[in-house]
Amino acid sequence: MPPRVVLPLLVIVAAACSAAPSSAPPASSDATTSMAPSPSGGSPSASAAVISRGQIAFSSERDGNSEIYVANVDGSVANLTENAAEDTQPAWSPDGTSLAFASDRDGNPEIYVMNEDGSGVARLTNDPGSDGFPAWSPDGTRIAFASDRDGNAEIYVMNADGSGPTRLTDDPNNDLAPAWSPDGARLAFDRDAGGVNFEIYVVNADGSGELQLTDDPASDQSPAWSPDGSRLAFFSDRDGNFEIYVMATDGTGVNRLTNDPADDVAPAWSPDGGQLVMVSTRDGNEEIYVMQADGSGAARLTNDSADDGDPAWAAGAAP
C-alpha cells in the first residue's frame, strides 16, 4: 500500500511502495479492535475509546479531495480545511496550538500553517519547487521540510515564520520525511537509494554528521522519534509486506511491532510514548489505527470508505 501521494517530489515514494492490493485479508478479530460503524446518515467519527488524550490530526479524501481533519478524545472528527486543492501531511506545533501542512492550493505544493481550529491559514514557503513533509522543531522555532527546489528532494530547515530556509542535505538521491529528535539536536529522514529502496539516516540539525542507520534490501521509511529519544519507529517491507518496526537511535535492535497480511505504514508516537498511531489497510482501505508501543492492542480509529492517512498526534495537547 503506498501512502497517498499528491506532491510531485513524492512520485518516487509511490514507486518504492508498490503495494499490496487493498483486497488483502483483514486481520482476525482477536488482533484488531474495530470501531463500530457510524450511524446511518451520519458522518464517520472516531472511536472515543481509542484516544486517551489529546488529538490526532490526519488527512482524508472522505469529502472528495484530501483535507486535514482532527479526531478528538470524545470520538468526534472535525474537518479543518475546506479547499479544492490537496491538503496533506499535518504536523502539530509543540504546544498543540498550530498545524503545519502541505498544500497545492496556490498552484504547486507549499508549506502552510493554521491554527488548531483551521483558522488563520498562512503560506510559509513560496518557491517554484515542491515543498512537503513539514516537521516542527521541539522548541517550536523552526520547521524542517523536504523540497526539490534545488533539483532533487533534500531536507531543509526554516524559521517557523517561513524565513531563512537552509538546506541540510546534499545528495543525488531524494531525501524525505524529516523528523526531529526530542532534544532538537538531530533529524532523522529517509533517503531513496535508486528509486526502489529507502534507508533511514540521521543528521545533525546544522547538516553535519550524517549517519546511515538502516541497510536492508527492502525499503525502510518514515522515521519517528519516541518522546524519550531512545527509539525510532519506521515502516519497512523487509519481511515481505509493510509493517511497523522500532529500533534504537543508532540503528541497532530492530524489532517488528506489527504482523498482519495487510500493510501498516506511517507510524507516529503518542505524546507520552505509550502508544503509536499508524495507517493500515487491514480492514480493506487505508484507515488510522492506534496500538500500544509494544505493538499490541491495535484498534481502528477511523472508519470511512475513503482513505485516511498522515496521522500526527498533538504533542502539547492536554489530557
Q: What percent of the chain has pLDDT over 70?
A: 82
Buried/exposed code over 257-289 (b: 16+ C-beta within 10 A; e: otherwise): bbebebbbbbbbbbbebebbbbbbbbbebbbbb
12 φ/ψ angles, rounded to the nearest 5 degrees: -65, -25
CA distance 306 to 218: 28
Predicted local distance difference test score (pLDDT) of residue 47: 55
Predicted local distance difference test score (pLDDT) of residue 219: 95
- Distances, alpha carbon 155 to alpha carbons 103, 126, 191, 201, in Å: 18, 16, 10, 11
Predicted local distance difference test score (pLDDT) of residue 79: 96
CATH topology of domain 8-17+46-313: Neuraminidase (2.120.10)
Predicted local distance difference test score (pLDDT) of residue 277: 97
Neighbours of 65 (CB within 10 A): 16
CA atoms within 13 A on the CB side of 9: 29
Predicted local distance difference test score (pLDDT) of residue 194: 72
C-alpha of 305 from chain center: 20
The three grid cell numbers given for residue 94, joined into one nine-digit string: 509543540
Q: What is the mean pLDDT of the chain?
A: 86
Neighbours of 15 (CB within 10 A): 13
Predicted local distance difference test score (pLDDT) of residue 38: 35
- Are the C-beta atoms of residues 158 and 165 closer than 8 Å to each other? yes
CA distance 178 to 176: 6
Q: What percent of the chain has pLDDT over 90?
A: 78
- Distances, alpha carbon 215 to alpha carbons 193, 248, 254, in Å: 10, 14, 12
Q: Give residue 45's pLDDT band: very low, low, confident or very high (50, 70, 90).
A: low
Predicted local distance difference test score (pLDDT) of residue 10: 43
Q: Give residue 101's pLDDT band: very low, low, confident or very high (50, 70, 90).
A: very high
- For the cut 60, the answer to whether the pLDDT of residue 9 exceeds it is no
CA distance 168 to 1: 30
Predicted local distance difference test score (pLDDT) of residue 316: 56
Predicted local distance difference test score (pLDDT) of residue 254: 98
**Model confidence pLDDT, tens digit, residues 257-308:** 999 999 999 999 999 999 999 999 999 999 999 999 999 999 999 999 999 9
Neighbours of 252 (CB within 10 A): 8
Least confident of 21-35, 64-78, 241-255: 21-35
57 residue type, one letter: A
Q: Supply angle C-alpha 28, 33, 36, rounded to 5.
A: 115
What global pTM score does this model have?
A: 0.87
- For the cut 50, the answer to whether the pLDDT of residue 33 exceeds it is no
- Are the C-beta atoms of residues 241 and 282 closer than 8 Å to each other? no
User: Exposed, middle or buried by CB within 10 Å (0-12, 13-18, 19+), for 18?
Assistant: exposed
Element (H, E) at 262: none
Q: Give residue 105's pLDDT band: very low, low, confident or very high (50, 70, 90).
A: very high
- Furthest-apart CA atoms within the chain: distance in Å: 55
Region 34-61: mean pLDDT is: 60
Question: What size, in residues, is the chain?
Answer: 319
CA distance 94 to 82: 24
Least confident of 137-141, 255-259, 315-319: 315-319
**Model confidence pLDDT, tens digit, residues 155-180:** 999 999 999 999 999 999 999 999 99
**Domain map of the chain by residue range?**
8-17+46-313
**Model confidence pLDDT, tens digit, residues 52-96:** 668 999 999 999 999 999 998 777 899 999 999 999 999 999 999
